[in-house]
Amino acid sequence: MSDPAATGRSDAGYVHATSGSVLLDGITTARATGVGESVPILYASGGKHIVRNVRAQGYTGRPVVRQAVAGLIDADSSVTVVTGA
């Protein structure tokens, strides 16, 4: 998925977690041309999730992971955690 908002669906990130748990460890993400760096690689609206060792290509900064409320994502310094819907 290159841009979740452009799909006409309600996905808020490349991976959209509403409950349960997701582990992203050692993944590589490559930003597509024309897709903003603010598009999250993970959006969490519930559950507990871990993000570690993300390798990024095509980003000037770090990839973003977004959580609806604080405490949903435990991430290392390979990504930027943003809180809020």
Of the candidates 39, 30, 29, the residue with the CA atom closest to the CA atom of residue 6: 39
Delimit the domains of the chain by residue range.
4-83
Predicted confidence (pLDDT) per residue in 52-75, tens digit: 999 999 999 999 999 999 999 999
Higher pLDDT, 35 or 11: 35
Please, what sign has the CA dihedral across residues 9, 45, 84, 3? Answer: negative
Place of tokens 């973003």: 64
Give the distance, in angstroms, between the CA of residue 24 and the centroid of all CA atoms in the same chain. Answer: 10
If you average pLDDT over residues 30-51, what whole number do you get?
A: 91
> In the prediction, which pLDDT does 22 show?
96
Residue 18 token pair: 């509403």
Query: What's the pLDDT score for residue 68?
Result: 96
Strand-pair partners of 49: 22, 73
Between residues 34 and 75, the one the model is more confident about: 75
Is residue 13 within 8 Å of residue 42, measured between CB atoms? yes
| pLDDT band, residue 6 (cuts 50/70/90) | low
pLDDT band at 3 (very low <50, low <70, confident <90, very high): low
Which whole number is the average pLDDT over 39-48? 95
